[in-house]
Amino acid sequence: MIHQVIVGQIVSARGVKGEVKVLPLVDDPAFFSRIGRVWLGLTDAGGEPQRILRARPEKGHVLLQLEGIDTRTAAEALTGLKLSVPRSEMPPLEEGLYYHFQLEGLRVQTDDGAFLGILDHIMETGSNDVYVVRSPDGEELLIPATREVVRAVNLEEKTITVSVMEGMFGEE
């Protein structure tokens, strides 16, 4: 099991003092100011965290000054790297909201208990997420993650209950 969450990706160096421009993969850019440290790459790969000295939002990105990165050349060498934190350091969400990593791998069942498959991954479409469920026969089922369809999420029981609407899986 992977024990970290990718929270951003370094897209470029910024300025001459080692600042990096990060595409945040979290909803709240202020997250980087609060977390205080990130790992370059995956935490499971080992290594030490990089302390965040300064974080500030800029036009859909976050500019970070990381400890020990104090030249443009050093910052450019980090371009393309993903930033991660341990799952345990992710802030709690409001009730009824979940991180993708909390949902992926859960059993998906209908209102009447029929097993549909395992949630493989989640596609972000802009309007609503779509759950990609792998059925027992290997088929991909696409389930819109809307309140009308997703009836319940039970993390303790590792289940997602959905209401199957007419035509949802292509049958007429």
Cα 30 to Cα 44, 59, 86, 103, 154: the distances in Å are: 24, 13, 17, 24, 29
Cα distance between residue 54 and residue 58, in whole Å: 13
Average of per-residue pLDDT across 134-147 = 93
Find the angle CA(151)-CA(155)-CA(156) to the nearest 5 degrees.
120
Q: Read off the pTM.
A: 0.68
What structural domains does the chain harbor? Answer: 4-89 (2.40.30.60), 100-162 (2.30.30.240)
Percent of the chain predicted with pLDDT > 90: 60
- For residue 138, pLDDT beyond 70: yes
- For residue 1, pLDDT beyond 50: no
- For residue 137, pLDDT beyond 70: yes
Task: Give the tokens for residue 107.
Answer: 């059993």
In this structure, are residues 115 and 45 in contact, taking their beta carbons and an 8 Å threshold?
A: no
- For residue 167, pLDDT beyond 90: no
Query: Each residue of 4-58: pLDDT tens digit?
Result: 888 899 999 999 999 999 999 887 878 898 999 999 876 555 678 899 999 999 9
DSSP calls for 25-94: -SS-TTHHHHH-EEEES-GGG--PPEEEEEEEEETTEEEEEETT--SHHHHHTTTT-EEEEEGGGSPPPP
Q: Which pLDDT does position 25 carry in this prediction?
A: 85
- For residue 77, pLDDT beyond 80: yes
Reported residue count of the chain is 172
Query: Each residue of 88-100: pLDDT tens digit?
Result: 888 888 888 888 8
For residue 160, the SS3 value is strand
Within a 10 A sphere around the Cβ of 106, how many other Cβ atoms? Answer: 19
In the block, which residue shows the tokens 């009824």? 96
Q: Which pLDDT does position 44 carry in this prediction?
A: 56
